[in-house]
Amino acid sequence: MNGSQRPLRIVVTAGPTWEPIDPVRFIANPSTGRVGFAIAEEAKRRGHRTTLITGPTHLTPPAGVRCVRIQTARQMLRQVSRAFPQSDSLVMTAAVGDFRPAQPRRQKVKRRRLAARWSLPLVKNPDILGTLARRKGRRLVVGFALETHDVLAEAMRKLREKELDMLVANRAKPSGEPFGDRPVTGYLLDRRGNIDALRGVTKQRLAKLLLDRVEYLWQTAT
């Protein structure tokens, strides 16, 4: 942040969501939350007023950052919806689960009572990013996408369809290793048509690149 720019109010989401099957089991993904925590730390270092809304993770929130912890996608939607109206920018790095069990059980499902094949009905979770981006006004909304193929094409589609200002598209590995345990390879796109290739970028370096772009888009907005 340069001396002429006022501090921005930035909301960052991070981590996975947990969708309960019963009181002791859940559907999740291997997101570690490291990208979101790195962005929140860099935003605070630059003097921005930063709120971090995070799913379950072992990471310690950066000092001076307001942290709100959630578990499910619907809880995240409630918390982000509360913070969004008072923000200048929303950075959605969280790996929000697309689906949840339709009817979570109140008691532990007993293995011995299940057939060899057991169906678990799922329903779609709310599209947090798309919902808020469509009512953003002057706010900047940044999305993240993890893709296994056609990374750039999918990123461009998501940027356009969700009416985002910027998007980071990360290429997933088929091994299923935690997202946060490796550097970022993919693309950084913005609404003005800029596309930057990311080749083995660290989380800290990505945080700097992303916030440089957020600050630039905010300063040059018309």
Q: Who contacts 190 (Cβ-Cβ below 8 Å, separation ≥6)?
A: 159, 165, 166, 167, 213, 217
Catalytic (active site) residue 29: yes
Neighbouring-strand partners of residue 69 = 54
- Among 65, 70, 84, 64, smallest CA distance to 14 is for 70
Please state, in angstroms and rounded to a whole number, the distance separating the CA atoms of residues 49 and 218.
15
Could you tell me the two tokens for 61? Answer: 């929130």
Residue in the structure block whose two tokens are 């990123």: 155
29, 125, 170, 194: which is the annotated catalytic residue? 29
Sign of CA dihedral 133, 209, 50, 38: positive
Residue in the structure block whose two tokens are 């345990």: 181
Neighbouring-strand partners of residue 166 = 142, 190
Q: Is 124 buried (19+), middle (13-18) or exposed (0-12) by CB count in 10 A?
A: exposed
Please state, in angstroms and rounded to a whole number, the distance separating the CA atoms of residues 120 and 118.
7
| Active-site residue list | 29
